[in-house]
Amino acid sequence: MRIGILTSGGDCPGLNAVIRAAVLTGIKEYDFEFVGLRDGWRGLVQGDVRTLNRSAVRGISRVGGTILGTSRTNPYDAEGGGADNIAATMKRLGIDGIIAIGGEGTLAGAKRLADDGIPVLGVPKTIDNDLAATDYTFGFDTAVEIATEAGDRLRTTGDSHMRCMVLEVMGRHVGWIALHSGISVGAHAILIPEHPMTIEEISEYVRSVYDRGRAPLVVVSEGFKLAGMDEEYSRKGVDASNRPRLGGISEMLAPMIEEATGIESRSTVLGHIQRGGAPTGSDRVLATRFGIAAVRAAADGEWGSMVALRGTEIERVSFAEALGELKTVPQSRYEEIKHLFG
Ligand code: F6P
């Protein structure tokens, strides 16, 4: 069997570990051949491939990014796309099935192709950890580690100047990175999209920390919104283009906190640093297990499924299940630590 592997959507530490494990498992245990499809679905649609053999994957599991490149190309919208064209391209290249490593958008494309008869398997990927059917995704642990280190560093400079430091981490829909890094760094407030708060509440936490002689640290998820923020904008007639963009909420919050409390405040947007560089050991392990499981699923002919971590085991789930509602931070998980704020 000849399998095409692609990485699609935003990159994520651990992608290369999946590729390596899949290729080595396939070659050593099943005598499979592999080709890499360049830049996600684009490589499949345009038949742009590269060799994936043992030497191509040597030593890559500790390297960040993806050796295959990635893009947000949709396999249906792109020129030459659509199930019929893709089936023809696969036939021409001698590819029997696809392993698609990606997040929500990638998996939606994979499901549609699978529904249209293309043999596709999914491997979940997102640093945000918001995919429904899997307990964890690789990349998340790395992002939390990086955010933790950033938070630790902000604390020492914050302490020196007695400033309120606001650290913005990724998570456009969910607050998992903010929650975990906020806990690990001992943040005085953690702000997540699932739990809007008013500037008064946030300022109260900040003030009480400062009054104890400590420098406050606030960790905020990029998708956080102040309670009533959207309504307030609508009331004032501020149109969507003039509202704070994603990846900038901390720049809005710091001056608001400073104004409300009189405490000098600074913001840091961590951004893509959370996605770059080497994966942590845990992420390499999870990514490796996913890669192995994906190839075993291909060997079993279980196309149309996605590998997922359930508890400590890797299982196969349907694309439909994988594309269920996003895994948000449950209220109970947030309440569990909220008494530590302030
Ligand atoms: O989905 C993962 C994520 O890291 C989000 O948290 C973030 O909003 C987004 O990617 C940014 O991705 P890009 O800049 O590549 O569009």
ipTM: 0.92
Q: Where is average pLDDT lowest: 7-16, 114-123, 126-135, 224-233?
A: 224-233
Q: Closest Cα partner for 8 from 53, 41, 43?
A: 41
The pLDDT of residue 242 is above 90: no
Per-residue confidence (pLDDT) for residue 244, from 0 to 100: 58
- Cβ 171 under 6 angstroms from ligand 1: yes
Which residues lie below 8 Å from residue 104, measured CB to CB, with a gap of 6+? 9, 126, 130, 131, 323, 326
Gyration radius (Cα) of the chain, Å: 22
Coil, strand or helix: which one is 189? Answer: strand
Q: Which percentage of the chain shows pLDDT scores above 90?
A: 93
The pLDDT of residue 88 is above 70: yes
Handedness of CA 271, 240, 218, 172 (dihedral sign): negative
The pLDDT of residue 241 is above 70: no
User: What does pTM read for this prediction?
Assistant: 0.95
Query: CB of 274 within 8 A of CB of 12?
Result: no
Atom number of ligand 1 nearest to Cα 173: 6
Q: How confident is the model at residue 24 (pLDDT cuts 50, 70, 90)?
A: very high
Q: How confident is the model at residue 234 (pLDDT cuts 50, 70, 90)?
A: confident
Domains of the chain: 2-138+279-322 (3.40.50.450), 140-276 (3.40.50.460)
Q: Whose CA is nearest to atom 11 of ligand 1?
A: 10
The pLDDT of residue 76 is above 90: yes
Q: Which residue has the tokens 């938070």?
A: 151
Distance of alpha carbon 82 from its chain centroid, rounded? 27
The pLDDT of residue 248 is above 90: no
pLDDT (tens digit, 9 = 90+) per residue, 255-303?
A: 999 999 999 999 999 999 999 999 999 999 999 999 999 999 999 999 9
Per-residue confidence (pLDDT) for residue 80, from 0 to 100: 86
Q: Closest Cα partner for 290 from 139, 83, 183?
A: 139
103 annotated to bind ligand: yes
Coil, strand or helix: which one is 256? Answer: helix
d(C-alpha 165, C-alpha 153), whole Å: 10
d(C-alpha 85, C-alpha 75), whole Å: 10
73 annotated to bind ligand: yes
The pLDDT of residue 239 is above 90: no
Query: What DSSP state is assigned to residue 39?
Result: T
Coil, strand or helix: which one is 240? Answer: helix
Angular region, 279: left φ>0, alpha ψ -120 to 50, beta rest: beta
d(C-alpha 80, C-alpha 98), whole Å: 17
d(C-alpha 136, C-alpha 57), whole Å: 24
Q: Whose CA is nearest to atom 15 of ligand 1?
A: 10
Average pLDDT, the chain: 95
The pLDDT of residue 246 is above 70: no
Supply φ then ψ for residue 137, to 5 degrees.
-120, 150
